[in-house]
Amino acid sequence: MKQILTLVLIGISSAVFSQEKISFTLPPASPDASFTQQLGNVNLTVSYSRPLAKGRKIFGGLVPFDSLWRTGASESTIVRFSGDVTINNNNLSAGKYALFTIPGVNEWTIIINADTTLHGDFGYESTKDVLRFKVKPEKSEHFYEAFTIDINDIKRTGDAFLALSWENTVVKIPINNAVHAKILSQINTRIIINKEKNAGLFFEAANYYYSTGGDLNQAAIWASEAEKLDKENFIYPNLLQKILADSKDYKGAIAAAKRAIALAEKQNMTNAVITLKKRVAEWESK
């Protein structure tokens, strides 16, 4: 009877213990990350997992040299481009791709692959590679505990670098917005070759050169042509004064600004008048 009672008590204690068992929700070993960055008029979206160094030697250790790497953890790292780009001078159409790499001591192989369904690099097939090229790794004074993909050195044209950083290694992949070259070609065709005479066209070309770091002398010529064709439009002398000021031609900038002020006053553009008069006063004091 005592034995039966003992067994019953053990069973009850076990049931109570199992009911009080606590489950912990542990943080992921490699947290997921994603971001979207606008490059000109193209959006780049990156989705990946971020493994941690945790005191380990990364490249040449955890990540062997000269071997295919998923470039992250868990699922394949995915890059999406909403428009056409060039990567390291290679054309790449808009679309969704997997990013793989082969790290090396002196150079890395960057791989853009069409198969975005893989878990890491399991099942990878080189026949589905869209692009393959090599870049040089760089040493960083900053230590990256977590593997990091980001966009840096963005230019006004939409050009930038896709940077892969972990431990003290950084690999920069140059990305160029293909639209920029197309716009320059369109400007050349319409204005230089076809010799179109249109104020709006001259303005757009001048403004594009000005906003993307193009030839300011050429931008000033086109802005002047726009103003000649439509002398009552405020935006033409207003753009011209900006271009000339950036070119350090303050005499020309003052003249253009005063023409813009006169038009702004006619249209009761109070804020524009105040701003331009301040700029003129600054230039006249130089």
Assess whether 113 and 249 both reside in one domain. Answer: no
Assess whether 141 and 71 both reside in one domain. Answer: yes
pLDDT at 9 over 50: no
Contacts 24+ apart (CB under 8 A), 191-194: 191/222
Assess whether 157 and 257 both reside in one domain. Answer: no
Assess whether 154 and 48 both reside in one domain. Answer: yes
Assess whether 163 and 209 both reside in one domain. Answer: no
Q: For the chain, what is the domain count?
A: 2
Mean pLDDT value across the chain: 91
| pLDDT digit string, tens, across residues 196-242 | 999 999 999 999 999 988 999 999 999 999 999 999 999 999 999 99
Assess whether 167 and 244 both reside in one domain. Answer: no
How much is the pLDDT for 157? Answer: 84
pLDDT at 134 over 50: yes
Assess whether 122 and 208 both reside in one domain. Answer: no
pLDDT class of 268 with cuts at 50, 70, 90: very high
Assess whether 170 and 271 both reside in one domain. Answer: no
Report the percent of the chain where pLDDT is more than 90.
80
Assess whether 65 and 154 both reside in one domain. Answer: yes
Q: Is this model's pTM higher than 0.85 or not?
A: no
Residue 84 lies in a domain: yes
How much is the pLDDT for 7? Answer: 47
Residue 247 lies in a domain: yes
| pLDDT digit string, tens, across residues 168-178 | 999 999 999 87
Residue 233 lies in a domain: yes
pLDDT class of 22 with cuts at 50, 70, 90: low
Question: Where residue 239 sits, what CATH number does that domain have?
Answer: 1.25.40.10
pLDDT at 11 over 90: no
Residue 164 lies in a domain: yes
Q: Which of 142, 177, 212 is the last residue of a domain?
A: 177
Domain with 145, as residue range(s), is: 32-177
Assess whether 140 and 238 both reside in one domain. Answer: no
**Mean pLDDT value of segment 116-143:** 95
DSSP strand E in the chain: where? Answer: 32-39, 42-49, 77-81, 85-87, 90-92, 95-102, 108-113, 129-135, 137-152, 160-177
Q: Which of 143, 177, 211 is the last residue of a domain?
A: 177
Report the percent of the chain where pLDDT is more than 70.
92
Assess whether 108 and 235 both reside in one domain. Answer: no
How much is the pLDDT for 14? Answer: 52
Q: How many angstroms separate the CA atoms of 82 and 177, rounded? A: 11
CA atoms within 13 A on the CB side of 34: 10
Residue 9 lies in a domain: no
Assess whether 113 and 40 both reside in one domain. Answer: yes
How many CB atoms neighbour CB 141 within 10 A? 5
**Mean pLDDT value of segment 153-182:** 91
How much is the pLDDT for 40? Answer: 83
Which one is predicted more confidently, 116 or 121?
Answer: 116
Cβ atoms of 179 and 42 closer than 8 Å? yes
**Mean pLDDT value of segment 111-136:** 95
